[in-house]
C-alpha cells in the first residue's frame, strides 16, 4: 500500500486553504492534508499537545507568515530550533513579497518561499524539488 504524504497547512484564510488544496491537486501529489488556522495550533499539532495528541508527524509543512495568535515567523523559528521538528521541510506560502520576509524565512532555514496567489506551476516545481531531496512522493497519473 502506498502511503500519502502527510502535509500540515498552517493557514487562517478559508479561501487560501481551498487554493492550497487546488495547488496540491495540480501538483498531482497523493496527500493527506491537515489544516490548522494559527501558529499556536500549529505548534500544538507538531508537538502533539492537546487537542492534537494523536496527530501524525507531517512530511511537509506549508506555512503562512501572517497568522493570528502566533506569527508564522515565530512558528518557523520554533520548528527549525526544535531537534525533533527541524528536519521537516517547510514551504512558506504567504502573500508577503517583502524582501525582508523572504530573507528572514531563508535565514531561518525555510526550504522554499512561495508567494500567494499561488502560481500552480511554481508550486508544482517546489513540490517536485522537495520530493527529490526530502522524501519519496506518489504523484497521481495525469488525467486528460
pTM over 0.75: yes
Could you tell me the sign of the dihedral formed by the alpha carbons of 132, 134, 136, 140, in that order? negative
Q: What is the mean pLDDT of residues 88-92?
A: 92
Q: How many domains does the chain have?
A: 1
Q: Which domain holds residue 84?
A: 6-14+24-132
Q: What is the pLDDT of residue 130?
A: 73
Furthest C-alpha separation in the chain = 44
Q: What is the pLDDT of residue 58?
A: 93
The residue assigned the cell 506518489 is: 138
Residue 37 is assigned to a structural domain of this protein: yes
Give the torsion through C-alpha atoms of 28, 88, 11, 102, to 10 deg. Answer: -100
Q: What is the CATH number of the domain that holds 75?
A: 3.40.50.2300
Q: What is the pLDDT of residues 52-87, one digit of tens each?
A: 999 999 989 999 999 999 999 999 999 999 999 999
Q: What is the mean pLDDT of residues 35-44?
A: 97
Amino acid at each position: 500500500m502506498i502511503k500519502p504524504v502527510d502535509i500540515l497547512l498552517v493557514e487562517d484564510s478559508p479561501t487560501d486553504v481551498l487554493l492550497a488544496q487546488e495547488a496540491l491537486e495540480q501538483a498531482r501529489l497523493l496527500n493527506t492534508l491537515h489544516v490548522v488556522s494559527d501558529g499556536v495550533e500549529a505548534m500544538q499539532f507538531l508537538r502533539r499537545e492537546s487537542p492534537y495528541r494523536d496527530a501524525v508527524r507531517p512530511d511537509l509543512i506549508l506555512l503562512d507568515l501572517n497568522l493570528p495568535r502566533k506569527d508564522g515567523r515565530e512558528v518557523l523559528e520554533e520548528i527549525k530550533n526544535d531537534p525533533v521538528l527541524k528536519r521537516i521541510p517547510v514551504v512558506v506560502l504567504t502573500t508577503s513579497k517583502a524582501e525582508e520576509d523572504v530573507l528572514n524565512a531563508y535565514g531561518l532555514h525555510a526550504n522554499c518561499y512561495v508567494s500567494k496567489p499561488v502560481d500552480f506551476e511554481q508550486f508544482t516545481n517546489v513540490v517536485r524539488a522537495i520530493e527529490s531531496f526530502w522524501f519519496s512522493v506518489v504523484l497521481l497519473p495525469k488525467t486528460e
